[in-house]
Each structure stands twice: as structure tokens, then as C-alpha cells.
Amino acid sequence: RPVLAIDIGGTKLAAALVDDAGRVVAYDRVPTPNAPGRDAEDLWRALDGLLDKVVADAGGPEPAGVGVGCGGPMTWPEGAVSPLNIPAWRGFPLRERLRERHPGLPVRVHNDAICVAVGEHWRGAGRERANVLGMVVSTGVGGGLILGGRLVDGASGNAGHIGHVIVDPDGPPCGCGGRGCLEAIARGPGLVAWAREQGWRPGEPGGTGVELAADARDGEPVAVAAMRRAGRALGIAIASATHLCDLEVVAIGGGVSQAGPPLFDPLREAFDAHARMDFARRLEIVPAALGQPAGLIGAAALIFAPGR
Ligand code: ADP
Ligand code: ZN
């Protein structure tokens, strides 16, 4: 039986049925009802409808369990979520609500970047590797750590949260209340805001990271600079992370990771400039091998392969 896998971000709610080979057998997504004034129950209703639809589209199988990746931070193993980028869900008892919705099924809720780490370790770029940092670069920036072949939870389930590692103490303010965090510089909405301040004018009124990345690939100078700024911040943070944790692979998922060379070239350049110890220089940095569903596949792995 497949697992019902859920990925909750500041931009979209995604759900899938994932089989034990890590294949997505049904998938759908809806925008996160994240506008000011939307409350916790609005979000829950959107998720509830999405889950009904994904299961119905697949012909109504009874899932083997429910695995969830949610924007952090959160509490583990209780599964109450407090996503920095989803104000309406601060303190929301997500695991409890899902247990009421799916009586008798195992329900595991972890942070979305931890799911990317677990998914990439299970079926992606971190297969056969014992020391993996999985990252999400999306509405926020997060990370999850596999060390010595085991998922590291930390005291509260948030170990590996690289989004709030400081890359520039004099940098821009961050949603966490700090300054110069990786997330403040590299999150999708931050990238777009910076590009607009520098005079970037997207062709489409909604101008998002998707258009910004396309403009950067076309060589538009402000878009190139915006991606370069984010890529550098990521490279600096990853250099620090691998000095701390002696990693083998970093796999980066999330919407912004699809930007391609305009992001990854400066990222690798900055990494090379800052990762000076021999042991750190061997690190492989790649886009998530499982692509955009990496977090969903990892959420399913919380049920299929909970030891990871
Ligand atoms: P969530 O944060 O809800 O998990 P995503 O992973 O899709 O959602 O991340 C959303 C952010 O990523 C937005 O800021 C969006 O502009 C940006 N983004 C999405 N797709 C791309 C892309 N192809 N290239 C660059 N940025 C992207
Ligand atoms: Zn921060």
C-alpha cells in the first residue's frame, strides 16, 4: 500500500501517494492560503480537500500511513508545527489533526527539509552515502542532516536548520528576528524583492522566482546578480556546514533549486573559495536527484524507512 505524503510550504501545499519504491503514483498541489486574514482552519480545509482529491484520483486506496514534511520549525515527535513562513499555523497541532483524520494509521510529521534529506538518502543523491545534508531553498531555506547513516533530530527535531546560519552579520533582517541569515538572502521571495529594489522589472505582473531565474539564464544583469547573491550565500553556508559536519553530499531541493547554472555556478565558486580544509573540498553539491518531489518522497520514507 502507498503512503499518503504531504509537503507543506509557504507557497504551496502538495500531496502524493508514494509507493515503497519511492515512486509518486498520484500527485496534486494547491496554493497555500497564506494571505493575511486566513486562519488555521482555512489552511486545514485546503489541505483536507487536497488529500481527498489525491486519494480519489488514485482510485481511493487505503494508505499505509501518513508522512508529512512541513516548513520549520516544529516539535518532534509531537508534530506541532510553527512554520516561520505560514503565520496562521504557528503552534498548529498538525499530527494530532491528521491522526483524527486517519484513525489507526501511523502519522509522522517532520520538517520539510529533513524530509528532503531522508528522501535523498533513501532513493536519491544520498543513496549509499552516510553523511548527507538535504536542503530546501523555497519560500524559506531549511536543511536536514544524516550523519553516520542516521537522521539527526537534535533536541527538538530541528538539527540541520541551515536557513538560520549567519552568512553576513550586517546583512538584511530575517523573519526569525535575526540578521544576515542564509534564509534572509536566498529565500525565493527575498531574491525577488532584492531584484526589484535593484530595478528588475518582470514581464509578467506577478514576477516570481520562476521569471527571475529565466531572466538570469537569458543574461539579464539584475537577475544574474540576484541569483549570484543567493548562490554565494548558499556556498558560504554550505562551506561552514561541511566543516562542522564532514559531509559527503549536499542535495538541494525546493523551487529555487530549479534555477540552474545562474544559481549553482556562483554557489560552487563561493564554496570553493571558503571550503579550504582538504576534507571539506571533497564535498559533492547537487540539485536533489528526486527533483521537486524529493520532500514528498522523504515524507513517505518517514513511514517506509523510519530508521533513516
Ligand atoms: P514552498 O515554499 O511552498 O515549498 P516552492 O518549493 O515551490 O514552494 O518554493 C517557492 C519559491 O520558489 C517561490 O519564491 C518561487 O518564486 C520560487 N521558485 C519556484 N520555482 C522556481 C524556479 N523554477 N526557479 C526559481 N525560483 C523558483
Ligand atoms: Zn533567520
Q: What ipTM was assigned to the predicted interfaces of this complex?
A: 0.98
- Least distant ligand from the CA of 140: 1
Measured CA to CA in angstroms, residue 284 lies from 119, 133, 152, 272 at distances of 17, 10, 20, 11
Q: Rounded to whole angstroms, what are the CA distances from 227 to 185, 194, 288, 291?
A: 10, 10, 18, 19
Strand partners, 135: 143, 252
Taking ligand 2, which is a single-atom ion, which protein residues have CB atoms under 5 Å away?
164, 174, 176, 178, 181
| Residue 72 or 265, more confident | 265
Give ligand 1 pocket residues (Cβ under 6 A). 9-12, 32, 138-139, 188-189, 208-210, 213, 254-256, 258-259
Least confident range from 24-38, 200-214, 258-272: namely 200-214
Task: Give the separation between CA 139 and CA 262, rounded to whole angstroms.
Answer: 18
pTM: 0.95
Q: Is 58 exposed, middle or buried (CB count within 10 Å of its CB: 0-12, 13-18, 19+)?
A: middle
Return the pLDDT at 79. 87
Give the model's pLDDT for residue 241: 98
CA distance 302 to 182: 27
pLDDT at 60: 95
Could you report the per-residue pLDDT of 75-117, keeping only the tens digit for each? Answer: 888 889 999 999 999 999 999 999 999 999 999 999 999 999 9
Q: What pLDDT, on the 0 to 100 scale, is given for residue 308?
A: 61
Q: What pLDDT score was predicted for residue 102?
A: 98
- Which residue's alpha carbon is at the smallest distance from atom 2 of ligand 1? 139
Predicted pLDDT of residue 157: 86
Mean pLDDT to the nearest integer, 127-143: 97
Q: What is the mean pLDDT of residues 181-204?
A: 94
Cell numbers for 242: 561541511
Average confidence (pLDDT) over 206-223 = 94
Over residues 165-176, the mean pLDDT reads: 96
pLDDT of residue 210: 95
The set of cell numbers assigned to 43 is 489552511
Angle at 72 between CA 70 and CA 76, to 5 degrees: 80
In angstroms, the CA 67 to CA 83 distance is 17
184, 171 Cβ separation under 8 angstroms? yes
Average pLDDT for 116-122? 97
Average pLDDT of the chain? 95
Question: What is the rounded average pLDDT of the residues 220-231?
Answer: 98
Residue 211: C-alpha distances to residues 50, 118, 215, 230 (Å): 27, 30, 6, 16
Residue 205 has pLDDT above 80, yes or no: no
